[in-house]
Amino acid sequence: MMGVYGSLYDGIGALFRVFGWLFAIITLLFFLFSAGASSVIAKRIRLILSYLGGGIAIFCLLAGYGVI
């Protein structure tokens, strides 16, 4: 039974790693391509989404690599 749980744990870790890298790349691209935003609201939304996406990416990567 331990082998089943071990492989399940590895699969969940792999999912977290994939989603972590996905969030990291999407957040970076969003941050770079929305740099020309002119209004204050657009800049605030860009900042909030960048921090949120970065936080999710860091959490997923840490969980995926077994740090937390």
Give the pLDDT confidence score for residue 5 in this predicted structure. 65
Q: What is the 3-state secondary structure (H, E, C) of the chain?
A: CHHHHHHHHHHHHHHHHHHHHHHHHHHHHHHHHCCCCCCHHHHHHHHHHHHHHHHHHHHHHHHHCCCC
Q: Mean pLDDT per 10-residue run, the chain (68 residues)?
A: 68 89 89 81 85 89 86
| pLDDT for position 3 | 62
Check if the beta carbon of residue 17 is closer than 8 Å to that of residue 63: no
